[in-house]
Amino acid sequence: MRKANLSYICQECGMVHARWAGRCSGCQAWSSLTEQKASPANKRRITGAATRSPGMEVVALADANPASIPRPAPTGIAEFDRVCGGGFTPGSATLIGGEPGIGKSTLLLQIALKAPAGAVYITGEESLDQVRTRATRLSGTDKLATDLSLAAETDISAICRYIQAHRPALVVIDSIQTVYSSDVEGTPGSVAQVRTCAFELISVCKSVGSPLVMIGHVTKEGTLAGPRVLEHLVDTVLYFEGDRSAGYRILRGIKNRFGALDEIGIFEMTGTGLAGVANPSHLFMAERSKSPSPGIATVALLEGSRAILADVQALVCPTSFATPRRSVVGWDSNRLAMVTAVLDTHCGMSLGACDIYLNVAGGLRIKETAADLAVAAVLTSAAVGAPLPTDTVIFGEASLTGEIRPVGQALLRLKEAERLGFAAAMTPTLDKVSVKATALRISPVTKLSDFVYDMQQRPDQRENADGRR
Ligand code: TYD
Ligand code: MG
Protein backbone atom coordinates (compact mmCIF):
# COMPACT_ATOMS: atom_id res chain seq x y z
CA MET A 1 0.00 0.00 0.00
CA ARG A 2 1.25 3.51 -0.84
CA LYS A 3 2.39 5.52 2.16
CA ALA A 4 0.08 8.49 2.82
CA ASN A 5 1.42 12.03 2.08
CA LEU A 6 4.39 10.77 0.08
CA SER A 7 5.25 11.84 -3.41
CA TYR A 8 8.34 11.36 -5.56
CA ILE A 9 10.09 14.27 -7.20
CA CYS A 10 12.51 14.07 -10.14
CA GLN A 11 15.84 15.75 -9.29
CA GLU A 12 16.46 16.58 -12.96
CA CYS A 13 13.21 18.20 -14.11
CA GLY A 14 11.16 18.65 -10.93
CA MET A 15 8.21 16.51 -12.10
CA VAL A 16 6.16 15.10 -9.21
CA HIS A 17 5.13 11.40 -9.37
CA ALA A 18 2.56 9.64 -7.21
CA ARG A 19 4.55 6.36 -7.35
CA TRP A 20 8.24 5.60 -7.39
CA ALA A 21 9.70 4.57 -10.75
CA GLY A 22 13.22 3.85 -11.98
CA ARG A 23 12.88 6.41 -14.75
CA CYS A 24 11.20 9.81 -14.83
CA SER A 25 8.39 9.85 -17.39
CA GLY A 26 8.92 13.62 -17.86
CA CYS A 27 12.62 13.91 -18.76
CA GLN A 28 13.50 10.18 -19.11
CA ALA A 29 16.33 10.48 -16.55
CA TRP A 30 17.20 7.24 -14.70
CA SER A 31 17.27 6.96 -10.89
CA SER A 32 16.37 10.61 -10.41
CA LEU A 33 13.23 10.19 -8.26
CA THR A 34 13.47 10.90 -4.54
CA GLU A 35 10.86 10.63 -1.82
CA GLN A 36 9.24 13.81 -0.55
CA LYS A 37 6.71 14.32 2.28
CA ALA A 38 3.82 16.66 1.49
CA SER A 39 4.38 19.89 3.42
CA PRO A 40 1.60 21.25 5.65
CA ALA A 41 1.22 24.14 3.16
CA ASN A 42 0.22 21.66 0.45
CA LYS A 43 -2.44 20.15 2.63
CA ARG A 44 -4.17 23.44 3.41
CA ARG A 45 -7.60 23.70 1.86
CA ILE A 46 -8.09 26.80 -0.24
CA THR A 47 -11.84 26.96 0.18
CA GLY A 48 -11.81 27.52 3.95
CA ALA A 49 -9.00 30.08 3.70
CA ALA A 50 -10.78 31.98 0.93
CA THR A 51 -13.85 32.74 3.02
CA ARG A 52 -11.73 34.11 5.89
CA SER A 53 -9.34 36.15 3.70
CA PRO A 54 -9.78 39.95 3.76
CA GLY A 55 -9.75 39.99 -0.08
CA MET A 56 -7.39 41.31 -2.71
CA GLU A 57 -6.45 44.96 -3.08
CA VAL A 58 -6.45 46.32 -6.62
CA VAL A 59 -5.15 49.62 -8.02
CA ALA A 60 -5.96 51.42 -11.24
CA LEU A 61 -3.33 51.00 -13.95
CA ALA A 62 -3.67 54.69 -14.80
CA ASP A 63 -2.50 55.57 -11.27
CA ALA A 64 0.93 54.03 -11.90
CA ASN A 65 3.68 56.60 -11.36
CA PRO A 66 6.49 56.12 -13.93
CA ALA A 67 8.93 57.99 -11.65
CA SER A 68 8.54 55.30 -8.98
CA ILE A 69 9.40 52.43 -11.35
CA PRO A 70 12.92 51.26 -10.42
CA ARG A 71 15.56 51.84 -13.09
CA PRO A 72 18.55 49.57 -13.69
CA ALA A 73 21.90 50.74 -12.31
CA PRO A 74 24.88 50.04 -14.61
CA THR A 75 27.40 47.52 -13.26
CA GLY A 76 30.36 49.26 -14.92
CA ILE A 77 30.98 46.22 -17.16
CA ALA A 78 29.58 47.32 -20.50
CA GLU A 79 29.27 43.86 -22.09
CA PHE A 80 27.31 42.62 -19.06
CA ASP A 81 25.00 45.65 -19.02
CA ARG A 82 24.24 45.12 -22.70
CA VAL A 83 22.87 41.62 -22.01
CA CYS A 84 20.90 42.31 -18.84
CA GLY A 85 19.18 45.48 -20.02
CA GLY A 86 21.46 48.21 -18.64
CA GLY A 87 22.46 46.74 -15.26
CA PHE A 88 20.70 45.43 -12.16
CA THR A 89 17.24 46.73 -11.30
CA PRO A 90 16.62 47.08 -7.53
CA GLY A 91 14.85 44.01 -6.15
CA SER A 92 15.42 41.99 -9.32
CA ALA A 93 16.64 38.38 -9.43
CA THR A 94 19.15 37.14 -12.01
CA LEU A 95 20.30 33.57 -12.61
CA ILE A 96 23.60 32.87 -14.39
CA GLY A 97 24.25 29.36 -15.68
CA GLY A 98 27.27 27.84 -17.34
CA GLU A 99 29.69 24.93 -17.38
CA PRO A 100 32.21 24.58 -14.56
CA GLY A 101 35.29 26.70 -15.16
CA ILE A 102 33.67 28.93 -17.77
CA GLY A 103 34.13 32.02 -15.55
CA LYS A 104 30.88 32.59 -13.65
CA SER A 105 32.57 33.22 -10.30
CA THR A 106 35.20 35.41 -11.94
CA LEU A 107 32.62 37.58 -13.71
CA LEU A 108 30.45 38.03 -10.63
CA LEU A 109 33.40 38.86 -8.41
CA GLN A 110 34.45 41.49 -10.96
CA ILE A 111 30.92 42.92 -10.88
CA ALA A 112 30.81 42.81 -7.06
CA LEU A 113 34.17 44.61 -6.85
CA LYS A 114 32.74 47.45 -8.92
CA ALA A 115 29.40 47.51 -7.09
CA PRO A 116 28.46 50.37 -4.73
CA ALA A 117 29.42 50.12 -1.03
CA GLY A 118 27.51 47.46 0.87
CA ALA A 119 27.50 44.71 -1.77
CA VAL A 120 27.92 41.17 -0.43
CA TYR A 121 29.45 38.11 -2.11
CA ILE A 122 28.28 34.88 -0.48
CA THR A 123 30.20 31.78 -1.46
CA GLY A 124 29.42 28.18 -0.65
CA GLU A 125 31.92 26.76 -3.10
CA GLU A 126 35.23 28.37 -2.23
CA SER A 127 36.94 29.49 0.96
CA LEU A 128 37.19 33.18 1.80
CA ASP A 129 40.96 33.03 1.16
CA GLN A 130 40.37 31.68 -2.34
CA VAL A 131 37.96 34.52 -3.08
CA ARG A 132 40.40 37.07 -1.63
CA THR A 133 43.25 35.70 -3.77
CA ARG A 134 41.07 35.94 -6.85
CA ALA A 135 40.00 39.49 -5.99
CA THR A 136 43.68 40.48 -5.62
CA ARG A 137 44.43 38.93 -9.00
CA LEU A 138 41.48 40.71 -10.63
CA SER A 139 42.39 44.09 -9.15
CA GLY A 140 46.13 43.68 -9.82
CA THR A 141 46.96 44.96 -6.30
CA ASP A 142 47.31 43.53 -2.77
CA LYS A 143 45.66 46.55 -1.18
CA LEU A 144 42.04 46.19 -2.19
CA ALA A 145 40.21 49.52 -2.05
CA THR A 146 36.69 48.10 -1.91
CA ASP A 147 33.73 47.99 0.46
CA LEU A 148 32.71 44.54 -0.71
CA SER A 149 31.71 42.16 2.11
CA LEU A 150 32.45 38.44 1.84
CA ALA A 151 30.77 35.50 3.54
CA ALA A 152 31.24 31.74 3.35
CA GLU A 153 27.69 30.80 4.30
CA THR A 154 25.26 28.18 3.06
CA ASP A 155 22.43 28.39 5.63
CA ILE A 156 19.52 30.18 3.95
CA SER A 157 18.05 31.59 7.18
CA ALA A 158 21.40 33.21 8.13
CA ILE A 159 21.71 34.68 4.63
CA CYS A 160 18.15 36.02 4.64
CA ARG A 161 18.58 37.56 8.12
CA TYR A 162 21.73 39.37 6.92
CA ILE A 163 19.97 40.71 3.80
CA GLN A 164 16.99 41.89 5.86
CA ALA A 165 19.23 43.70 8.36
CA HIS A 166 21.80 45.23 5.97
CA ARG A 167 19.87 45.80 2.70
CA PRO A 168 23.00 45.17 0.56
CA ALA A 169 23.56 47.12 -2.67
CA LEU A 170 24.04 43.76 -4.43
CA VAL A 171 23.73 40.13 -3.27
CA VAL A 172 25.78 37.47 -5.11
CA ILE A 173 25.10 33.80 -4.29
CA ASP A 174 27.81 31.41 -5.55
CA SER A 175 26.04 29.02 -6.05
CA ILE A 176 22.33 28.34 -5.45
CA GLN A 177 23.09 24.58 -5.41
CA THR A 178 25.21 24.93 -2.26
CA VAL A 179 22.61 26.80 -0.16
CA TYR A 180 20.34 24.75 2.12
CA SER A 181 17.28 25.22 4.29
CA SER A 182 16.84 23.10 7.45
CA ASP A 183 13.05 23.24 7.01
CA VAL A 184 13.21 21.13 3.85
CA GLU A 185 14.31 17.53 3.43
CA GLY A 186 17.01 16.60 0.96
CA THR A 187 20.66 17.42 0.41
CA PRO A 188 21.78 20.87 -0.89
CA GLY A 189 21.30 20.99 -4.64
CA SER A 190 18.18 18.77 -4.62
CA VAL A 191 15.10 20.13 -6.34
CA ALA A 192 13.17 20.86 -3.14
CA GLN A 193 16.18 22.64 -1.55
CA VAL A 194 17.04 24.72 -4.63
CA ARG A 195 13.43 25.74 -5.14
CA THR A 196 12.81 26.71 -1.50
CA CYS A 197 16.12 28.58 -1.08
CA ALA A 198 15.74 30.48 -4.37
CA PHE A 199 12.18 31.45 -3.47
CA GLU A 200 13.23 32.73 -0.02
CA LEU A 201 16.18 34.68 -1.42
CA ILE A 202 14.06 36.27 -4.15
CA SER A 203 11.33 37.23 -1.65
CA VAL A 204 13.70 38.81 0.86
CA CYS A 205 15.67 40.70 -1.82
CA LYS A 206 12.43 42.02 -3.35
CA SER A 207 11.20 43.19 0.05
CA VAL A 208 14.39 45.19 0.79
CA GLY A 209 15.09 46.23 -2.85
CA SER A 210 18.50 44.56 -3.20
CA PRO A 211 19.38 43.14 -6.61
CA LEU A 212 20.12 39.40 -6.37
CA VAL A 213 22.40 37.34 -8.65
CA MET A 214 22.53 33.58 -8.29
CA ILE A 215 25.00 31.27 -9.99
CA GLY A 216 23.46 28.00 -11.17
CA HIS A 217 25.22 24.84 -12.30
CA VAL A 218 24.35 23.21 -15.59
CA THR A 219 23.72 19.53 -16.23
CA LYS A 220 25.53 17.36 -18.78
CA GLU A 221 22.85 18.30 -21.30
CA GLY A 222 23.65 21.99 -20.81
CA THR A 223 20.46 23.06 -19.04
CA LEU A 224 20.41 24.65 -15.59
CA ALA A 225 20.52 21.97 -12.91
CA GLY A 226 17.57 21.86 -10.57
CA PRO A 227 13.98 22.51 -11.41
CA ARG A 228 12.86 24.42 -14.44
CA VAL A 229 10.79 26.42 -11.98
CA LEU A 230 13.95 28.33 -11.04
CA GLU A 231 13.94 29.91 -14.49
CA HIS A 232 10.31 30.95 -13.97
CA LEU A 233 11.00 32.46 -10.55
CA VAL A 234 13.73 34.87 -11.61
CA ASP A 235 13.50 37.99 -13.78
CA THR A 236 16.58 37.34 -15.91
CA VAL A 237 18.30 34.12 -17.01
CA LEU A 238 21.76 34.38 -18.56
CA TYR A 239 23.96 31.60 -19.90
CA PHE A 240 27.71 31.80 -20.07
CA GLU A 241 28.93 29.70 -22.99
CA GLY A 242 31.93 29.23 -25.23
CA ASP A 243 34.72 26.86 -25.94
CA ARG A 244 37.07 26.96 -22.97
CA SER A 245 40.05 26.35 -25.26
CA ALA A 246 39.14 29.36 -27.45
CA GLY A 247 39.90 32.29 -25.14
CA TYR A 248 36.56 34.08 -25.44
CA ARG A 249 33.19 33.56 -23.68
CA ILE A 250 29.69 34.57 -24.74
CA LEU A 251 27.06 35.70 -22.24
CA ARG A 252 23.63 35.11 -23.73
CA GLY A 253 20.25 36.31 -22.43
CA ILE A 254 17.66 33.48 -22.32
CA LYS A 255 14.97 35.39 -20.48
CA ASN A 256 14.87 39.07 -19.59
CA ARG A 257 12.01 40.99 -18.02
CA PHE A 258 13.98 44.24 -18.22
CA GLY A 259 15.53 44.39 -21.67
CA ALA A 260 16.04 42.92 -25.13
CA LEU A 261 16.36 39.16 -25.28
CA ASP A 262 18.78 38.22 -28.00
CA GLU A 263 21.70 40.43 -26.95
CA ILE A 264 25.06 38.79 -26.35
CA GLY A 265 28.08 39.98 -24.42
CA ILE A 266 31.51 38.85 -25.55
CA PHE A 267 34.38 38.47 -23.09
CA GLU A 268 37.96 37.35 -23.32
CA MET A 269 39.60 35.47 -20.40
CA THR A 270 42.84 37.28 -19.61
CA GLY A 271 45.41 36.98 -16.83
CA THR A 272 43.46 39.58 -14.85
CA GLY A 273 39.94 38.27 -15.33
CA LEU A 274 37.32 38.71 -18.04
CA ALA A 275 37.67 41.66 -20.37
CA GLY A 276 34.87 42.83 -22.66
CA VAL A 277 35.62 42.50 -26.38
CA ALA A 278 34.65 45.71 -28.12
CA ASN A 279 35.53 44.48 -31.61
CA PRO A 280 34.31 40.86 -31.76
CA SER A 281 34.48 40.46 -35.54
CA HIS A 282 38.29 40.12 -35.30
CA LEU A 283 37.83 37.01 -33.14
CA PHE A 284 35.79 35.17 -35.74
CA MET A 285 37.73 36.03 -38.86
CA ALA A 286 40.55 33.66 -39.80
CA GLU A 287 43.91 34.92 -41.02
CA ARG A 288 43.81 35.07 -44.80
CA SER A 289 46.85 34.47 -46.98
CA LYS A 290 47.52 36.83 -49.91
CA SER A 291 46.50 34.21 -52.50
CA PRO A 292 42.82 33.44 -51.91
CA SER A 293 41.83 29.79 -51.54
CA PRO A 294 38.51 28.13 -52.38
CA GLY A 295 35.95 27.30 -49.70
CA ILE A 296 36.10 30.36 -47.43
CA ALA A 297 33.79 33.37 -47.13
CA THR A 298 32.89 36.04 -44.59
CA VAL A 299 29.28 36.23 -43.42
CA ALA A 300 27.64 39.25 -41.77
CA LEU A 301 25.54 38.09 -38.80
CA LEU A 302 23.28 39.87 -36.39
CA GLU A 303 23.60 39.19 -32.65
CA GLY A 304 21.08 41.29 -30.76
CA SER A 305 21.56 44.88 -31.76
CA ARG A 306 25.00 44.54 -33.31
CA ALA A 307 26.44 43.01 -36.46
CA ILE A 308 29.34 40.57 -36.27
CA LEU A 309 31.41 39.25 -39.15
CA ALA A 310 32.57 35.63 -39.10
CA ASP A 311 34.38 33.33 -41.50
CA VAL A 312 32.69 30.19 -42.79
CA GLN A 313 34.91 27.46 -44.27
CA ALA A 314 34.01 24.36 -46.28
CA LEU A 315 35.91 21.36 -47.57
CA VAL A 316 34.26 19.21 -50.23
CA CYS A 317 36.04 16.01 -51.30
CA PRO A 318 35.09 12.69 -52.94
CA THR A 319 33.91 10.23 -50.31
CA SER A 320 35.52 6.92 -49.53
CA PHE A 321 32.59 5.82 -47.32
CA ALA A 322 29.33 4.12 -48.26
CA THR A 323 27.45 7.09 -46.74
CA PRO A 324 29.18 10.44 -47.33
CA ARG A 325 30.27 12.32 -44.21
CA ARG A 326 28.65 15.58 -43.15
CA SER A 327 30.70 17.17 -40.40
CA VAL A 328 29.45 20.55 -39.16
CA VAL A 329 31.00 22.74 -36.47
CA GLY A 330 29.20 25.94 -35.50
CA TRP A 331 26.11 25.53 -37.66
CA ASP A 332 22.93 23.47 -37.76
CA SER A 333 23.44 20.17 -39.63
CA ASN A 334 19.76 20.14 -40.70
CA ARG A 335 20.24 23.54 -42.29
CA LEU A 336 23.32 22.20 -44.15
CA ALA A 337 21.22 19.28 -45.45
CA MET A 338 18.65 21.81 -46.69
CA VAL A 339 21.23 23.98 -48.49
CA THR A 340 22.86 20.94 -50.18
CA ALA A 341 19.38 19.74 -51.29
CA VAL A 342 18.64 23.18 -52.79
CA LEU A 343 22.04 23.19 -54.57
CA ASP A 344 21.30 19.73 -55.94
CA THR A 345 17.67 20.30 -57.03
CA HIS A 346 17.74 23.90 -58.27
CA CYS A 347 21.38 24.50 -59.23
CA GLY A 348 22.39 21.15 -60.72
CA MET A 349 25.29 20.79 -58.29
CA SER A 350 25.21 17.31 -56.81
CA LEU A 351 27.27 16.78 -53.65
CA GLY A 352 25.80 13.32 -52.97
CA ALA A 353 29.12 11.56 -53.64
CA CYS A 354 31.19 14.01 -51.60
CA ASP A 355 32.13 14.37 -47.95
CA ILE A 356 31.37 17.86 -46.62
CA TYR A 357 33.18 19.52 -43.72
CA LEU A 358 31.80 22.89 -42.64
CA ASN A 359 33.38 25.05 -39.95
CA VAL A 360 32.73 28.49 -38.46
CA ALA A 361 36.00 30.17 -37.43
CA GLY A 362 36.72 30.99 -33.79
CA GLY A 363 34.25 28.45 -32.34
CA LEU A 364 31.20 30.71 -32.92
CA ARG A 365 27.81 28.99 -33.16
CA ILE A 366 25.64 30.56 -35.88
CA LYS A 367 21.89 30.33 -35.33
CA GLU A 368 20.80 32.79 -38.01
CA THR A 369 19.39 31.76 -41.38
CA ALA A 370 21.22 34.75 -42.88
CA ALA A 371 24.25 32.45 -43.19
CA ASP A 372 22.50 30.27 -45.84
CA LEU A 373 23.89 32.18 -48.83
CA ALA A 374 27.42 32.19 -47.39
CA VAL A 375 27.25 28.43 -46.77
CA ALA A 376 25.95 27.82 -50.31
CA ALA A 377 28.76 30.04 -51.61
CA VAL A 378 31.56 28.24 -49.73
CA LEU A 379 30.20 24.83 -50.74
CA THR A 380 30.08 25.91 -54.40
CA SER A 381 33.50 27.51 -54.16
CA ALA A 382 35.01 24.39 -52.56
CA ALA A 383 33.27 22.04 -55.01
CA VAL A 384 34.34 23.87 -58.19
CA GLY A 385 37.75 24.90 -56.81
CA ALA A 386 37.31 28.65 -57.40
CA PRO A 387 38.03 31.13 -54.58
CA LEU A 388 35.48 33.76 -53.59
CA PRO A 389 36.66 37.39 -53.57
CA THR A 390 38.27 38.17 -50.20
CA ASP A 391 36.93 41.75 -50.08
CA THR A 392 33.28 40.60 -50.21
CA VAL A 393 30.94 39.98 -47.32
CA ILE A 394 27.94 37.64 -47.85
CA PHE A 395 24.49 37.30 -46.26
CA GLY A 396 21.02 36.11 -47.30
CA GLU A 397 18.51 33.39 -46.51
CA ALA A 398 17.92 30.53 -48.99
CA SER A 399 14.37 29.34 -49.62
CA LEU A 400 13.51 25.78 -50.64
CA THR A 401 12.70 27.07 -54.12
CA GLY A 402 16.29 28.24 -54.63
CA GLU A 403 15.58 31.95 -54.20
CA ILE A 404 17.52 34.23 -51.87
CA ARG A 405 15.29 36.03 -49.39
CA PRO A 406 16.02 39.31 -47.59
CA VAL A 407 17.13 39.29 -43.94
CA GLY A 408 16.64 41.89 -41.20
CA GLN A 409 18.95 44.87 -40.53
CA ALA A 410 20.85 44.69 -43.84
CA LEU A 411 22.29 48.17 -43.39
CA LEU A 412 23.72 47.36 -39.95
CA ARG A 413 25.52 44.37 -41.46
CA LEU A 414 26.82 46.44 -44.38
CA LYS A 415 28.10 49.18 -42.04
CA GLU A 416 30.07 46.65 -39.96
CA ALA A 417 31.63 45.24 -43.16
CA GLU A 418 32.49 48.77 -44.29
CA ARG A 419 34.11 49.50 -40.93
CA LEU A 420 36.29 46.42 -41.26
CA GLY A 421 37.52 47.40 -44.72
CA PHE A 422 35.37 45.27 -47.01
CA ALA A 423 34.71 46.70 -50.49
CA ALA A 424 31.74 44.65 -51.71
CA ALA A 425 28.73 42.66 -50.52
CA MET A 426 26.78 39.74 -51.95
CA THR A 427 23.25 40.14 -50.63
CA PRO A 428 19.56 39.51 -51.35
CA THR A 429 17.82 42.31 -53.27
CA LEU A 430 18.13 45.37 -51.02
CA ASP A 431 15.88 48.38 -50.65
CA LYS A 432 17.07 51.61 -52.32
CA VAL A 433 17.74 53.33 -48.98
CA SER A 434 20.25 50.68 -47.89
CA VAL A 435 22.00 50.65 -51.28
CA LYS A 436 22.35 54.45 -51.18
CA ALA A 437 23.53 54.50 -47.58
CA THR A 438 26.44 52.11 -48.06
CA ALA A 439 29.77 52.65 -49.76
CA LEU A 440 30.05 48.92 -50.55
CA ARG A 441 29.64 47.59 -54.08
CA ILE A 442 26.43 45.53 -53.90
CA SER A 443 25.94 42.40 -56.01
CA PRO A 444 22.40 41.20 -55.37
CA VAL A 445 21.63 37.49 -55.78
CA THR A 446 17.98 36.64 -56.40
CA LYS A 447 18.42 33.04 -57.52
CA LEU A 448 21.05 30.71 -56.12
CA SER A 449 21.30 28.95 -59.51
CA ASP A 450 22.57 32.20 -61.18
CA PHE A 451 25.38 32.46 -58.61
CA VAL A 452 26.36 28.77 -59.01
CA TYR A 453 26.34 29.12 -62.82
CA ASP A 454 28.63 32.19 -62.61
CA MET A 455 31.04 30.33 -60.33
CA GLN A 456 31.16 27.35 -62.70
CA GLN A 457 31.97 29.63 -65.64
CA ARG A 458 34.86 31.43 -63.96
CA PRO A 459 38.25 31.06 -65.72
CA ASP A 460 40.10 30.24 -62.46
CA GLN A 461 37.62 27.42 -61.92
CA ARG A 462 38.55 25.90 -65.27
CA GLU A 463 42.30 26.26 -64.53
CA ASN A 464 41.81 24.59 -61.15
CA ALA A 465 39.78 21.80 -62.66
CA ASP A 466 42.47 21.31 -65.38
CA GLY A 467 45.17 21.31 -62.70
CA ARG A 468 43.42 18.51 -60.83
CA ARG A 469 42.95 16.40 -63.91
P1 TYD B 1 35.74 30.33 -12.48
O2 TYD B 1 35.37 31.75 -12.56
O3 TYD B 1 35.97 29.77 -11.12
O4 TYD B 1 34.64 29.47 -13.23
P5 TYD B 1 33.20 28.96 -12.73
O6 TYD B 1 32.83 29.74 -11.52
O7 TYD B 1 32.30 29.20 -13.91
O8 TYD B 1 33.32 27.51 -12.45
O9 TYD B 1 37.08 30.05 -13.30
C10 TYD B 1 37.29 30.33 -14.61
C11 TYD B 1 38.63 29.89 -15.14
O12 TYD B 1 39.32 31.04 -15.55
C13 TYD B 1 39.53 29.15 -14.17
O14 TYD B 1 39.90 27.94 -14.80
C15 TYD B 1 40.74 30.03 -14.01
C16 TYD B 1 40.67 31.01 -15.12
N17 TYD B 1 41.05 32.39 -14.79
C18 TYD B 1 41.88 33.10 -15.64
O19 TYD B 1 42.31 32.60 -16.68
N20 TYD B 1 42.20 34.41 -15.33
C21 TYD B 1 41.77 35.01 -14.19
O22 TYD B 1 42.09 36.18 -13.93
C23 TYD B 1 40.92 34.25 -13.31
C24 TYD B 1 40.41 34.86 -12.03
C25 TYD B 1 40.58 32.95 -13.63
MG1 MG C 1 32.60 29.06 -9.52
> 10 Å Cβ neighbour count for 453?
14
Residue 135 Cα, ligand 2 centroid: separation in angstroms?
13
Higher pLDDT, 465 or 200: 200
Name residues with Cβ closer than 5 Å to ligand 2, which is an ion: 105
Supply the pLDDT for residue 356: 96
pLDDT at 250 over 60: yes
Report CA(106)–ligand 1 centroid distance (Å). Answer: 6
Q: Which residues line ligand 1 (CB under 6 A)?
A: 98, 100-106, 134, 137-138, 269, 271-273
- For ligand 1, atom 23: residue with the closest CA: 273
Whether 46 has a pLDDT exceeding 50, the answer reads no
Residue 435 CA to residue 207 CA, distance in Å, equals 53
| Beta carbons within 8 Å of 71's beta carbon, 6+ residues apart | 86, 89
DSSP-derived 3-state class of residue 111: helix
Count CA atoms closer than 13 A to 225's CA, side-chain side. 21
**209: confidence class by pLDDT, cuts 50, 70, 90:** very high
Ligand nearest to the CA of 96: 1
**Mean per-residue pLDDT, 49-60:** 73
- The confidence score (pLDDT) of residue 219 equals 66
Highest mean pLDDT among 49-58, 140-149, 354-363 belongs to 354-363
Expressed in angstroms and rounded, the spacing between residue 271 Cα and the centre of ligand 1 is 10
How many angstroms does the Cα of residue 395 sit away from the middle of ligand 2? Answer: 39
Q: Which ligand minimizes its atom distance to the CA of 126?
A: 2
Choosing from 95, 136, 269, 272 the residue with most ligand 1 atoms within 8 A of its CB, the one to mutate for a pocket test is 269
Mean pLDDT over 127-151 rounds to 87
Residue identifier of the C-alpha nearest atom 15 of ligand 1: 101
Residue 15 carries which side chain, given as an amino acid letter?
Answer: M
